[in-house]
Structure 1
Amino acid sequence: MGRPPLPVGTYGEIKTKWDGSRGMASCQFRDLDGKVRKVRAWAQSPSKAANKLRERLRDRKISMGELSAESKVVDVAERWLSEFRDMVDAGKRSGTSYDTYEHRWRTLVKPRVVGLSVMELTTGRVDKIIQDIDGEYSASTARTCRAVVSGICGLAVRHGALSVNPVREARPVENGKRKKRPRALTVEEAIKIFETADGDEVARRHDLPDIMRYFAGTGTRTGETLAIRWETIDFDEKIAWVESNAIRSKLTGRTVNDGKTNNAERGIPMADWLVEMLLDRRARVAAMVGVEPEEMCGWVFPSTTGTLRENSNMRRDWRAFRDRHKIGDWFTPRTFRRTVATVLTDELPAREAADILGHSRVSQTTDTYVGRNLVSRHAAAVLNALGKTAEKRQDDQ
């Protein structure tokens, strides 16, 4: 006689093991539809992973209850977050997005709705919550909180607990002050920073001179830069193929995904100076490990142990470099991305520049990344044609 199935809403034995450097716990859970699904959690050790999994199972069980207008907002939110976690596990959502939403819910939204039922989430009350957050924090934070509340209310609508989503009619969040221009570097500023990094022994030990030049030559995101592999660089065609993005989240730990948008996977044509820098780097690394340069594989900018470098570690080294040389906090890895966007849009059609940067929308490139602090002579050259008309008029007179 076969083993009887798990009752709906229950789970089987929790199993733990080491998954690389992290602990992992897993078990089988029987959902409301009768299907048995594997649920997993990761943490610093197997025992911590097991505790984390038990919390997820508790939330999952709560989320299986029927929703009504009297349901507590906090219970609906846990159900929404549980569904979001499932989508992360299925590869349909990013773990970093879950981290952001969960943090905003726990720290900003939950304290404002902790005693409310779903039917008490009126448009007026939602509007006040979002506007209060906007006034106390920032427009960006308020928009994220608005997305959280909209997701929670959307779930309530789908299950009949609400007839309409009250967030739809709430006032949009607008910037209260003029948006700062993106800060880009001039060519002279970039060269000076390269020279400063070249002369900094600590920066050289952390690979910052080469990483900075790669940023400046490609305009790639931090995660894309750390995820680049020797196998994806075509030295013959002088193209760096961007195929992945290194991220870390609470749910998935350190992972490499396919990128932020459909345009994230792309080929970036490399300037000759960047090709020479990478060839020199490859030759140096190959000599250290005792292989031919053409046989090199793996991460181009690995950690000190040869593994995938952590974004946070690279940013820590970057901040330390910035502090040592009294460079303002405006100088981040994204500064080079803005610089590349500015240079490209001055010389190329905006759509072509957006494709190189991996943006799905041209406006993302022109509005967010282009630093217009740099004065171009192109406009003056075009306007010279008007001067010829003025000269002719003077001659006629």
Structure 2
Amino acid sequence: MSGGRPRTAIGTYGTVSVRRHGRSYIATTRFRDLDGRLRAVAACAASRSAAQAHLKERLLSRPGFGSGGVLSLSSPFSDLAELWLADLELQDLTEGTRKNYRQDLKRQILPAFQNYTLGEVTTGRVEWFLKSEAKVSYSRAKHSRTMLNLLFAFALRHDAIPRNPVEGTSPLEKPKNTPRALTLEQVAAIRQAAAVWRTGPDVKGPKPDGQVRDITEVLLGTALRIGEALALRPCDIFDGPNGMELQVRGTVVLRTGQGAVRQDHPKTEHSVRRIAVPEFAATVLRARLAARGEGERRRTIFSNKSGAPLSPYNVRRTFREFLALAGLQDSGISLRWYRRTGATVIARGASTDAAALFLGHGSTAITEGHYIEPDRTVDREPAALLERTLRRDAADSALLQAPYSSAEEELLAELDEADSEAA
């Protein structure tokens, strides 16, 4: 049957009428609920305008966008957080990523929004919250915005809200902060400190086993993430007539109640890669491999006395002692700077795409690999650039002394951002 008045859409209401009842006013309308039925909604107040306002408040909180009663505009924000966390456990994410999400939700998001319903979380309220977060730090505001987008995207998928309130908020202003690589002077100072750390005649206790010293050399020559370096096993190393290559196939993560555990896949799908190793880092790995038996090919190269992987936390702690011994404790240097240094050398000597590919970061080269037959050969040019620039003797400082281009700054900033969860 055609013609007639159009049907009221689910979640909307029709004409509002107001009538006097004694000394009060009653505002009424009909609201189309989730089951498709029209139902009368009324509100009473002492004046016509107050009755209309009261009615609109009731309509706003009505579960017109609900999902079978699971979530609606009138649901507390804490209900959304609880359901999102439950869904998080079903997703294919690393335990470290889940832990970071849970902590960010508990520490930053819930305190700000737990007293609101979903319908009360407006774009303006999100805007105010993100601006207050940005006053603390850009990184914190960015993480908070990401979290809110994930939460409200979940609510949208469950028809709990008509739109994402994060949309329409102002872009976050990223501070101009030029990323830096290590200088050759800093590399030499840290190498010297690592060589003499806890070796004096007055040092008490067991002598160091040199593992953290060797880890820094491997990081310098491969630009791996710290977890990737600690996850290396003898079966991941291939040493042939053209030089050494290694395959990144896992990472070390910290798990509650277990400590450091090797995970059988690295941080991202792009992180699975095979790279050539410069000779100065290959020398260190060969020495470590020579001390291993044939039955230890699947145990991590860097391990504690019980054979478990080294903890990234303990490696960072020892590295900070290296920095103090080198007089660099206030420099801001961390193990991440080794990854920046590798990226800088390769980007300047080859290209930013070559650097991104070597470091296991998304790039146009990787994107193109989905559409054309991939080249299975290992590019040895990045290793040659790292060897020439960072070897112990006769290192060439030309690449590290040049000013940063905008493309290089963007690459390093993206690397820092992508690796922040594993820092």
TM-score, with length taken from structure 2: 0.64
Structure 1 contact 243–265 (Cα < 8 Å) conserved: yes
Partner Cα distance (2:258, 2:112) in 1: 29
Aligned to 1:264: 271
Aligned to 1:300: 301
Aligned to 2:281: 274
Partner Cα distance (2:256, 2:122) in 1: 32
1:251 deviates by 9.8
Aligned to 1:318: 319
Partner Cα distance (1:376, 1:104) in 2: 38
Aligned to 2:176: 178
Partner Cα distance (1:84, 1:339) in 2: 35
Q: Given the superposition, is the C-alpha separation of residues 257 and 128 from structure 1 closer, same or farther in structure 2, using an over 3 Å criterion?
A: farther
Aligned to 1:97: 97
Task: Map 1:1-397 to 2 at 5 A.
Answer: 66-87=70-91, 92-135=92-135, 137-175=136-174, 177-179=175-177, 181-201=178-198, 204-205=208-209, 207-236=211-240, 237-250=243-256, 254-283=261-290, 285-286=291-292, 291=293, 296-329=297-330, 330-361=332-363, 374-376=400-402
Q: Give the match's secondary structure for 1:167.
A: coil
* Percent identical residues: 28
Partner Cα distance (1:273, 1:200) in 2: 20
Structure number having the greater helix percentage: 1
Q: Give the match's secondary structure for 2:190.
A: helix
Q: Given the superposition, is the C-alpha separation of residues 360 and 277 from structure 1 closer, same or farther in structure 2, using an over 3 Å criterion?
A: same
TM-score, with length taken from structure 1: 0.68
Partner Cα distance (2:258, 2:161) in 1: 33
Partner Cα distance (2:296, 2:121) in 1: 61
Structure 1 contact 197–204 (Cα < 8 Å) conserved: no
What amino acid is aligned across from residue 153 of structure 1 in structure 2?
Answer: F
Partner Cα distance (1:225, 1:357) in 2: 12
Q: Given the superposition, is the C-alpha separation of residues 280 and 250 from structure 1 closer, same or farther in structure 2, using an over 3 Å criterion?
A: closer
Question: Runs of 5+ in structure 1 lacking a partner?
Answer: 1-62, 364-371, 380-397
Question: Runs of 5+ in structure 2 lacking a partner?
Answer: 1-66, 200-206, 366-397, 406-423
What amino acid is aligned across from residue 198 of structure 1 in structure 2?
Answer: A
Q: Given the superposition, is the C-alpha separation of residues 356 and 309 from structure 1 closer, same or farther in structure 2, using an over 3 Å criterion?
A: same
Partner Cα distance (1:334, 1:279) in 2: 24
1:123 deviates by 1.0
Partner Cα distance (2:186, 2:327) in 1: 14
Q: Give the match's secondary structure for 1:263.
A: helix
1:305 deviates by 2.1
Q: Given the superposition, is the C-alpha separation of residues 78 and 295 from structure 1 closer, same or farther in structure 2, using an over 3 Å criterion?
A: closer
User: How many residues are paired up?
Assistant: 296
Partner Cα distance (1:295, 1:81) in 2: 39
